[in-house]
Amino acid sequence: MTYCLGILTATGLVMAADSRTNAGVDYISTHQKLHDFSIPGERILLLCTSGNLSVTQSVMTLLHRDIKTGEAVTLHTVGSLYEAARYIGTKMREVQTLDRPWLEKDGIDTNCNILLGGQVEGEQPELFLIYSQGNCIQASHETPFLQIGEAKYGKPILDRVLSFETSIEDAAKCALLSIDSTMKSNISVGPPINLVMYETDSFKIQHSLRLQLGAPYLVQIRKTWEHCLRDAFEAMPEIDWEIKSDRVLLEEVVGK
């Protein structure tokens, strides 16, 4: 399993991903899930992958191969991020068509998803989620973040904290807390954590991190967040056991 997310704000974009691909009782493996296809000064293209590793690795290989061989349509030639998303979708279908019959014979799940975030010169930053079938959805001002993989544990903080107007610095902190919350609840998500923060119209990656297991900052934010949650919990008002429930009040009204 994995957990990746992208956050789109008024001033930029944040992309984050864990690296765990297997978490058995006696075997833990990791693999890079955040991929950079950018051309500094012209376009920023960041991809995060989840799902069947053989499928996503094959897709990444095809994307690199098309660039290397100078194909007419590549991530370096498309005119918009939407075109890039559709192009990636065709590669996903190509790999799925080739591998799915053989994998499904052995009961192996072939599903995978890819997040694509970035900016092409002349366009605004955008964020897409590309499904196994090759279709995609786009983040918006109303829904400024997209997740793939083990999303449920890290979603509450995103719902409560984020908006399109959130600064990218705060969005980056929120992304790390979202991943840390997921790691706390699910062993199948784990470090190293890759984080990229991109500022609109800069067309270069100025801020990126790779946080290993036990990294001081990861330890610090986990301890701080848990301490703040405990303080918030202790500040909650006590339950008033004498208050009547809505159902009791309704029965009294109906009874009269």
Provide the CA 51 distance to its chain's centre, in angstroms.
12
Tokens of 54: 């053989």
The pLDDT of residue 255: 61
- By C-alpha distance, which of 79, 184, 69, 170 is closest to 121? 79
The pLDDT of residue 202: 97
Q: Please compute, for residue 116, the number of CA atoms within 13 A of its CA located in the half-sphere on the CB side.
A: 28
First to last CA, the chain: 57
The pLDDT of residue 32: 87
All residue ranges of the chain with pLDDT < 50 are 23, 25
What CATH number does domain 3-212 carry, 3.60.20.10, 3.30.70.380, 3.40.50.300, 3.40.50.150? 3.60.20.10
The pLDDT of residue 247: 61
Q: So where are the chain's domains?
A: 3-212
